[in-house]
Amino acid sequence: MKIRKKISLLLATSLLTVSSAIAQEYHFKDISQKIEKVTQGMVGRIGVAAQEIGGNEVIAVNGDETFAMASTYKVAIATTVLDRVDKGELSLDQLVEVQPDMYVTGVTALAETFPHPGIKLSVANLIEVMITESDNTATDVCMELAGGAAAVTKNLRRLGITDFRVDRTTREILMDFYGLSAVTPEAIPEAIKNNPALVAAQVDPNPDFEADPRDHTTPLAMLKLLLAIDGGKAMSPESSKFLLGVMSRTRTGAGRLKGLLPKGASVAHKTGTAGGIANDVGYVTLPDGRRFAIAVFTNSSKTPVADRDRAIAEVGRTLYDFYYLTAKDK
């Protein structure tokens, strides 16, 4: 009799575990479907990947599809620079001269604020403005400090991250986006000044640009990078703390991941924007201190810019509520 009871108990426990696993699978499937529903009609194509820090389950929508990153690729550049800092090849307080021929004039605050030669910034400050202001001049200097685009991609492969490639400087990306051949700092603002149609191109979809596989990633690959940064795999704990601190001071994209979160919610993130592209990737802290990493990519959008931002905000709020409320239900 005791043996039968023991067998029954084991079977019941096994069935409960299986039932729990099935319920959880549908739970995560439901949230993915909700994300697709709340963003429907607001963007052209969306990709999402998210995971609670320390958790195992991944929420994904089109997680294996590739998307143009725009400026979110600057997280990978910062990661490579900080890896060099950890190796002693660079230091955060090292001063770097920013030559005038590095300026990406007309699309970055740094070049417009300091139009004259004679700028020297520390590696720390270059990373700061690259992330918080999405400064393109600082980005191209950081790309050079990283060892070039190939070195950034190589560092990603070191971390076991595939489906993520970095190929061009921001100036090269912008030249390709606008269909320009000149590479002088003045080329982009002069072209826009002489061709008003290029102003509209800044928010209109650019199918040829998005079809180019360079500087693309998948949401799942970006998520893997975010988890590697936070988990100490990509860099030292000191460098990780530094980068997360910088990302927490980002001033672009206030209406994206942060847009619908409670006032004062902590978000460390990096945005990316170009034509029909609006992206945001980073980390969100819940009221109980738990955190989740998230990557949201939207490409090919013909909708108003406000709708694109709102779609990302809806994703952020949906996952914020999901992770917080499901923990309370446990």
pLDDT band at 108 (very low <50, low <70, confident <90, very high): low
Report yes or no: 63 and 46 within 8 Å, Cβ to Cβ. no
The mean pLDDT value for 252-272 works out to 97
Q: Is the pLDDT of residue 201 over 80?
A: no
Mean pLDDT over 268-283 rounds to 97
* Band of residue 123 on the pLDDT scale cut at 50, 70, 90: very high
| Residue 121 pLDDT exceeds 60 | yes
C-beta neighbour count of 50 within 10 angstroms: 29
Q: What percent of the chain is modeled with pLDDT above 70?
A: 88
- CATH architecture designation of domain 42-329: 3-Layer(aba) Sandwich (3.40)
Q: Which residues of 148-175 are buried (b: 16+ CB within 10 A; e: fewer)?
A: ebebbbebbeebebebbbbbbbbbbbbb
- Position 5 pLDDT exceeds 70: no
Q: With bands split at pLDDT 50, 70 and 90, how would you rate the model's confidence at 160?
A: very high
What does the DSSP assignment read for 75-105? HHHHHHHHHHHHTTSS-TT-EEEE-GGG--T
In DSSP notation, 4-66 reads HHHHHHHHHHHHHHHHHHHHHHHHHHHHHHHHHHHHTTT-SEEEEEEEETT---EEEESTTS-
Alpha-carbon torsion (79, 216, 134, 293), positive or negative: negative
> Best-predicted range by mean pLDDT among 22-31, 107-116, 270-279?
270-279
- Checking if the pLDDT of 82 tops 70, the result is yes
Percent of all residues in the chain with a pLDDT value above 90, rounded to a whole number: 75
Within 10 Å of residue 13's Cβ, how many Cβ atoms? 10
State pTM to two decimals. 0.89
Q: Which pair of tokens denotes residue 208?
A: 């040829």
Contact between 298 and 282 under an 8 Å Cβ cutoff? The reply is no
Per-residue confidence (pLDDT) for residue 105, from 0 to 100 = 63
Beta bridge partners of 52: 292
Find the mean pLDDT for residues 244-258. 97
The mean predicted confidence, pLDDT, of the chain is: 89
Q: Which residue has the higher pLDDT, 162 or 200?
A: 162
What's the angle, vertex CA 308, arms to CA 207 and CA 177, rounded to 5?
Answer: 30
Q: Are 292 and 53 in contact (CB under 8 A)?
A: yes
Per-residue pLDDT, 192: 76
Query: Who has greater pLDDT, 10 or 276?
Result: 276
* DSSP structural state of residue 233: S
Return the higher-pLDDT residue of 45 and 29: 45
Q: State the average pLDDT over residues 139-151.
A: 98
Find the mean pLDDT for residues 280-287: 98
pLDDT value, residue 328? 55
Which whole number is the average pLDDT over 276-282? 98
What token pair was written down for 263?
């006032």
Identify the pLDDT of residue 329. 52
User: Once rounded to an integer, what is the mean pLDDT over residues 247-256?
Assistant: 97
The span from the CA of 32 to the CA of 109, in Å, is 38
The mean pLDDT value for 6-23 works out to: 41
| Token duo for residue 37 | 């529903």
